[in-house]
Structure 1
Amino acid sequence: MNIANYLHQGTQSYGIVTDQGIIDLGRKLAHSYPDLKSLLQDDALDQIRSYASSPVDFAIEDIDFLPVIANPGKILCVGMNYAQKRLEFDETSPAPTLFVRFPDSQTGHQQPILKPAYSTQFDYEGELAVIIGRGGYRISQAQALNHVAGYSCYMDGSARDWQHTWFTAGKNWRQSGGFGPWMTTADEIPDPQTLTIQTYLNGQQVQSDSTANMVHPVAELIAYISTFSELSAGDVIITGSPGGVGKMRHPPLFLNPGDRIEVSISEIGTLSNPIVDDVDQQPNLLMRTA
């Protein structure tokens, strides 16, 4: 199943995406599960499978996509997790590199990604997102994939000139990361290390790799993170970007207003976002001076 989070006529809801349209679940299950996160928290994905053959409620064109999980408790991001990316950045650390994103740094499929007003090095990074369905603490690697609800695409927009000694400032500008278009449930992807991942800028391929080339596979990441931080249903792990990012190209290739960035992952689909200026950002005393 593909499950999307969206606005329909101004009301937030979620539902099953089919070739014919959307089977709305938000209204059908409002008393029990008002949003996708609450459904995951009750481990109720199997309960909605009976709706998959229901008539559609409206067309895909009638919704505005939201981030797959709009309010995750944790967004944990993995850096330098593909062999080619590590070569580009001369990365040698054996342990996973982790940083965090905040929920308001995300946006949905087909929604504008905002280029930070104070960055001239806004970069693209196409990534596989893992949505936790069953929480746990100190999860074994052997059991880790049983804790996954599903997978999605992520465009981890990066203000490189704000990644000072660490990544937080460069990764958390509002609406700078795309998340979608939907969650493909884990039963559709029994092995997340067999997917192709590609990124396109204005129709030109700029990244292409296989999740088989992750340095730290999905199951290892879940085991590693849950060693020190208990995972909860609705948490999101963004698993790293392949090589080919704009910063390391000659000349560099960064995102600008008017561009369109797309992340395509086999078995899931394509996340597509236009790039626009964030005209409402205001200067502050801590803005970058370098």
Structure 2
Amino acid sequence: MKLATLRTSSGSTTAALATGADTYLALPATDVGALLVQPEWRSITKKAAEAAAEGGQPVIAATEADFAPLLPRAGKVICCGLNYGDHIQEMGRELPEFPTLFAKYADTLIGAADVVEVHGSGRVDWEAELAVVVGSELFRADEDQARAAIAGYTVANDVSMRDWQNRTLQWFQGKAFDATTPVGPVMLTADDASESFEVRGYVNGELVQQGNTSTLVFGPAQLLSYISQFTVLRPGDLVLTGTPGGVGMGMTPPRFLNDGDILTTEIDGIGRLENQFRIHAPVPANA
């Protein structure tokens, strides 16, 4: 099943089940994160799917709603850097013994078709990623427990302000700009997911990134298990698994997004993000 958080014509948001016919069935929660905190969320979605199959239920047409951030109030947004071999090589690093982790806030998250407004950075880079949605509480879990706790998977782009990121050894300030991380359009539930995903990124229709999650150094269950050793993961938390090679900073010469560019991020079987950028770069000191 595929779940989404929709902005409706009434101005509210709702968790919704995709019916497979460009329509969605509203669920009893304001967003997917609020749905996942309900212990019976799986039975709720199953009953909704059965109702949709039988017909006669009021639905929301795709033309009457747009995609809000999938998890607008995620308690934790944790990201893994340097997790594909080719990306590690282009960054000039060695294969890591442990995951390289950093955090974002829920404030960074936006919808699948939202415009991205960037203020104060002239080196805006792309990072197409598979993201994992936590479905049940995890603390000091092994990999089997972590795997069982995965609610589903979604598409994300860890848009990075490289000029800010490279000011210090810590990445946080270049990764946590408000409203710059598109996530969605849907969460594919884990029971319908394959063992690997093809991740692609495009700039103005040009393919710049492509990788398969089967080549991750640390897979989803490994990441969740590792993270849970030091912090509790709860339903609705989000873990970004890293990006394949092809980021702008790794190109020769480096390449970054320009005002008006369209960044597309897609994962087969889940969906695609398509976000236009409005970049308000800082005024040069000698201007």
TM over 0.5: yes
Choose which of 22, 43, 46 in structure 2 pairs with 1:46: 43
Choose which of 108, 115, 126 in structure 2 pairs with 1:105: 108
Corresponding residue for residue 157 of structure 2: 155
Q: Distance in 2 between matches of 1:277 and 1:68?
A: 24
Q: Distance in 2 between matches of 1:223 and 1:199?
A: 28
Corresponding residue for residue 273 of structure 2: 271
Q: Distance in 2 between matches of 1:225 and 1:138?
A: 8
1:161-182 residue CA offsets vs partner (Å, 9 max, x unmatched): 1012111110111111110111
- Note the C-alpha offset of 1:113: 1.4
Map 1:88-167 to 2 at 5 A: 88-92=90-94, 93-115=96-118, 117-163=119-165, 164-167=168-171
1:183-208 residue CA offsets vs partner (Å, 9 max, x unmatched): 111111152xx211110111110001
Does residue 66 of structure 1 match 2:68?
yes
Contact kept? 1:6, 1:13, Cα under 8 Å: yes
AA aligned to 1:114 is E
- Note the C-alpha offset of 1:34: 4.0
1:198-240 residue CA offsets vs partner (Å, 9 max, x unmatched): 1011111000110011011111101100011111000000000
Corresponding residue for residue 221 of structure 1: 223
Corresponding residue for residue 21 of structure 1: 22
Q: Distance in 1 between matches of 2:162 and 2:258?
A: 14
Q: Distance in 2 between matches of 1:90 and 1:257?
A: 29
Q: Distance in 2 between matches of 1:234 and 1:110?
A: 21
Question: Cα RMSD over matched residues?
Answer: 2.0
Q: Distance in 2 between matches of 1:166 and 1:151?
A: 27
Map 1:126-275 to 2 at 5 A: 126-163=128-165, 164-191=168-195, 194-275=196-277
Instruction: Out of 71-80 and 262-271, give the one that drifted further.
Output: 262-271
- Note the C-alpha offset of 1:56: 5.2
Q: Distance in 1 between matches of 2:98 and 2:141?
A: 17
- Note the C-alpha offset of 1:41: 1.3
Corresponding residue for residue 36 of structure 1: 32
Contact kept? 2:183, 2:273, Cα under 8 Å: yes
1:48-91 residue CA offsets vs partner (Å, 9 max, x unmatched): 21212244522112112111111100000000000001101122
Contact kept? 1:21, 1:56, Cα under 8 Å: no
1:17-58 residue CA offsets vs partner (Å, 9 max, x unmatched): 2332333324xx2xxx44322321123123221212244522
Q: Distance in 2 between matches of 1:202 and 1:177?
A: 18
Contact kept? 2:75, 2:237, Cα under 8 Å: yes
Q: Distance in 1 between matches of 2:126 and 2:81?
A: 13
Structure 1 regions of 5+ residues with no counterpart?
none
Instruction: Out of 120-129 and 8-17, give the one that drifted further.
Output: 8-17
Instruction: Out of 5-14 and 269-278, give the one that drifted further.
Output: 269-278
Structure 2 regions of 5+ residues with no counterpart?
none
Rate the CA distance shift 1:278–1:174 in 2: closer, same or farther, 3 A. farther
Contact kept? 2:17, 2:45, Cα under 8 Å: no
AA aligned to 1:74 is K
Q: Distance in 1 between matches of 2:23 and 2:142?
A: 36
TM-score, with normalisation over the residues of structure 1? Answer: 0.90
AA aligned to 2:161 is A
AA aligned to 1:17 is A
Q: Distance in 1 between matches of 2:46 and 2:24?
A: 11
Q: Distance in 2 between matches of 1:35 and 1:73?
A: 13
Does residue 12 of structure 1 match 2:13?
yes
Q: Distance in 1 between matches of 2:24 and 2:212?
A: 32
- Note the C-alpha offset of 1:278: 5.2
TM-score, with normalisation over the residues of structure 2? Answer: 0.91
Q: Distance in 1 between matches of 2:142 and 2:236?
A: 19
